[in-house]
Amino acid sequence: MLSRRVVVTGLGAITPIGNNVQDYWTALSNGVSGAALITQFDASKFKTRFACEVKNFDVTQFIDRKEARRMDRYAQLAMVACDEAVKHCGIDLEKVNKDRVGVIWGSGIGGLKTFLDEVTSFAKGDGTPRFSPFFIPMMIADIAAGLISIRFGFRGPNFTTVSACASSTNAISDAFYYIKMGKSDMMITGGSEACVNEAAVGGFNAMKALSERNEDPSTASRPFDLDRNGFVLGEGAGAIVLEELEHALARGATIYGEIAGCGASADAYHLTAPHPEGLGATSVMRCALEEAGMKPEEIDYINVHGTSTPLGDPQEVIAIQNIFGEHAFKVNISSTKSMTGHLLGGAGAIEVLACLMAINTGVIPPTINHFTDDPAFDTRLNLTFNKSQKREVKVALSNTFGFGGHNASIIIKKYE
């Protein structure tokens, strides 16, 4: 069973720079920033007053209004991305064995807005408990996976991974293993997050994790720049359809790439800070390479975690240089969070999509907003600053690291 190959046959996305995969990729390859002043609440009293919000999103274009009201925004975004991915993969829902199709989703926080609204309403009341009967099912982080399975009737393995900002990378990895081990033939996987609200912005501000460059939000996310001062909060969802190779070939599916290997590790160091020597990040990339049976020299592109924080960016580069040695100067590296902001538990999903699109188009998306070199980074590194670059990409690596020291990496290769 472990020889079963796992390929990608469907893509879906709704992001701060595009509400479908093609629009997302066009903006990404053109270096478009999704950061702007917050519109979902009055942020005038907050230290950070901007974020990367999904724009022009009317959920009723995709989901019945009554049904949508029973979903937190993070679940709504998940449903929209999965709708696109399922349509994109061309599966005949009447013919597929739905017992062999599962859903594994990732979300670091889940329905935070629902929780905030319900508790705020109770606190402002007279003490009489008046909670929505949908409060709990709207809030819990696993409900998106359940809703997706209900929508399509998929009765295979169904759960959600929660590992902070590594959540959706872990979800894709688990989906890969379920197919590889013969437990499923297809999996809908990815992740979503919708935390542009008072609780999240206030909480991250209290940690001093967010950029406070309110005068110029579009340049606030500056991975690897000397003046980076925190990440920019984002929201959205990314979805991919994974499929066992022979199953995909039998139905004539278009194949966009193949999952070659996955890695997982822990820093075992600090609640929020990365290991200063990049030990966990080094370990997780080594694990992914070993599982893929690849040498570092085979990697063409690395989509880094690259959040634009003073501590995180250098530690990831240390880890890359630990693993790749001289090849670190030959591989393209970029942080697409410079454009999308940080989708937290949804980050890994849209970044795997970026890797797949790089493989299929031969274009490396840039790290925008680079103004001043940081002497912490060797100038021989190709961090793909400010403009996309053309390059054949046969193999790409995507990194995500989460609070608690959770690390996850995925290697995607061109299907041959």
CA dist 310 and 226 (Å) reads 9
- Helical H runs in 3-72? 21-29, 65-68
Tell how strand 389-390 and strand 363-364 pair up: antiparallel
How far apart are the C-alpha atoms of 173 and 179, rounded to whole Å? 10
What does the DSSP 8-state code read for residue 373? B
Cross-strand bridge partners of residue 367: 385
Give the integer Cα–Cα distance in Å for 170 and 163.
8
DSSP per position, 97-130: -GGGEEEEEE-SS-SHHHHHHHHHHHHHTTS---
The one-letter amino acid at 325? G
Strand locations in 220-352 (E): 236-244, 257-266, 301-303, 332-334
Q: Which helix (H) or strand (E) covers residue 161, if one does?
A: strand 158-161
CA distance 129 to 9: 47
List of residues 6+ apart from 188 with CB closer than 8 A: 82, 85, 86, 101, 102, 103, 104, 148, 152, 154, 175, 239, 240, 241
Q: Which residues are catalytic?
A: 165, 305, 342
Residue among 257, 269, 272, 284 at smallest CA distance from 359:
257
SS3 226: coil
- What DSSP designation does 92 have? -
